[in-house]
Structure 1
């Protein structure tokens, strides 16, 4: 949508003032705040045009205007194109993301987003990989073996096996060498099929050990591995737009409970890459008017493993929250990539 410079300036000013004040903006106030030498009548005419375009609306006949979801979208897209964001101080945040378990670091990121934005911080935790990059077997006792799986994302997952017969160290090395040479990067289901086909080519006790390890790892992958962490939902109770609109507040908390829908929404960020802004009411992805979600993917070793973000009112300071989400995703990605992470 193309607007002339005058209309663009008035729309940006209106949205900026509405975000700051939370009240409909009248034409006289807008004329003064925009810094344009325009009469109130001229400003009113421009506002009528913006209303016809669906960018602003008037809650009451005699009231000023407020932005619509389409107006917020125009405002945010223009901001992101121009990259006009506030400087985000992040030096003190780095200590929040010392290499730790992926789950604890994800929880810290959601908490940080909530504390700084004063809205709700959300994050999808890394999915457990259904394949491995490297495997090792460690003999703990004659019939107890520790399986160490390193995923393509660099996550280290440990599995304890109770085996039916005692194993020698050289047998465990033989099994690990075979799996690393022939099965690294394959899905666990493919590995199981391959081992069944090659049973006659290997020593039976080695094959049984490998099948047991793979089966145990595969069975540990459940739908609960793909979880969503939400921090600071109570902050929304203090937001005027939610406190004065119980339907909006209820819909937002319903969204937290409907994890599948929210996880699907976060998944779209993984596919698109970079910071994404979802504004409520503009599409069926986030159908609740007055709610916005800002997200960004985070990585480990340049592989996207999850998404984090902030949920708050559409009347939020986007110039502050967008870089907050972006920087947090980058700091978390850096921490996730530092060394091999312990098991979730």
Structure 2
């Protein structure tokens, strides 16, 4: 994260920090009288106004309305995060919950979803996690279960014990007996092969049959083609708890809220930002316009890598308003990623 090198004396730093803490708590511009009471310094409101005017001229605070007090700017938040932050210890109850629910008895996909859900719940913000890049995934077993509305649940066991569930949309209803025959065929002929190669092998096999293709074979090709798609064709990251952001004042404008959710839907922008986080290989805090994405000007993105000792698998983080308790949120992101990494490391053995 970039550093703000603007020098401030001790009193100015303390007042800026106090102003930010008041603003985070109340969500409203902070006046000189309130700031004086909160700071607990034996100085006049006139002195505080002079300090605020100086901070304003440096671009660290601004006055949204005349005589309405001041709010920190994104630059002020950046200085606060870089040089004034005191990290809050995580409550034991939260640690115990993370340790209990992020355990190695679960498969990778479950752990990833669980970590994202827990982080969103803990911070009451939007959780975001990138999915590991798919390496060699060898099929151990595949099963299909019929669902209503012409849908089928495909259950894949790949490598040693990684279980993946995918919904497949079909043109007709299949009986359980038909699905068992299809899964038996796939398991018998393709067990141990890379799941991405199975699709092309099936299609080649079907194209090579000059005579009328068996209906069961055609169904197997169709189901396998959808169920065995690479992860990056389906999704590259997951969001959880976007609705949490509606409760913040920053999101009370309908147009602003619409822009925010458009950012979530625009995978190109989000993936570009998350790729920057992965490449950095350490904690990243993007405040407002630092993310370089229109619609995130009043929001911050905090991320940290997760993975095993052997490799980084992705990043886990939150998207929330710039008016957030950075010390608590950063601590929550860090410890959640740590427990996820521990579980994945044990799960991979």
TM-score normalised according to structure 2 size: 0.70
Cα shift readout 1:178-234 (whole Å, capped 9, x = no counterpart): xxxxxxxxxx9xxxxxxxxxxxxxxxxxxxxxxxxxxx9xx8546325522111111
Q: Which residue of 1 aligns with 2:264?
A: 256
Residues 147/293 of structure 1: CA separation in 2 closer, same or farther (3 Å cut): closer
Residues 54/254 of structure 1: CA separation in 2 closer, same or farther (3 Å cut): same
- Residue pairs, 1:46-195, within 5 angstroms: 46-79=51-84, 84-89=87-92, 90-99=95-104, 100-129=106-135, 131=136, 149=159, 163=189
Q: Which runs of 4+ in 1 moved over 6 A?
A: 135-138, 154-157
Cα shift readout 1:48-97 (whole Å, capped 9, x = no counterpart): 111111110000011100011111111111245xx533334312211221
Unaligned runs of 5+ in 2: 1-5, 142-155, 165-182, 198-224
1:311 CA drift (Å): 0.9
SS in 1 for 2:302: strand
Query: Residue 32 of structure 2 contacts residue 49 of structure 2 at CA under 8 Å; is this kept in 1?
Result: yes
2:240 to 228, 231, 238: 231
**Separation of aligned partners in 1, 2:110 and 2:88:** 29
SS in 2 for 1:337: helix
Cα shift readout 1:124-158 (whole Å, capped 9, x = no counterpart): 111101x58xx8999xxxxxxx99757xxx9699x
1:334 to 309, 318, 342: 342
**Separation of aligned partners in 1, 2:140 and 2:320:** 47
1:288 CA drift (Å): 2.5
SS in 2 for 1:339: helix
Query: Residue 13 of structure 1 contacts residue 30 of structure 1 at CA under 8 Å; is this kept in 2?
Result: yes
Residues 225/128 of structure 1: CA separation in 2 closer, same or farther (3 Å cut): farther
Query: Residue 298 of structure 1 contacts residue 330 of structure 1 at CA under 8 Å; is this kept in 2?
Result: yes
1:300 to 278, 299, 308: 308
1:294 CA drift (Å): 1.0
SS in 2 for 1:98: coil
Residues 149/36 of structure 1: CA separation in 2 closer, same or farther (3 Å cut): same
SS in 2 for 1:50: helix
Cα RMSD after superposing both structures = 3.3
Query: Residue 287 of structure 2 contacts residue 299 of structure 2 at CA under 8 Å; is this kept in 1?
Result: yes
Query: Residue 127 of structure 1 contacts residue 225 of structure 1 at CA under 8 Å; is this kept in 2?
Result: no
Residues 332/69 of structure 1: CA separation in 2 closer, same or farther (3 Å cut): same
SS in 1 for 2:317: strand
1:263 CA drift (Å): 2.1
- Indicate yes or no: 2:283 matched with 1:275: yes
- Residue pairs, 1:21-32, within 5 angstroms: 21-32=26-37
The count of aligned residue pairs is 278
**Separation of aligned partners in 1, 2:267 and 2:129:** 11
1:317 to 295, 306, 325: 325
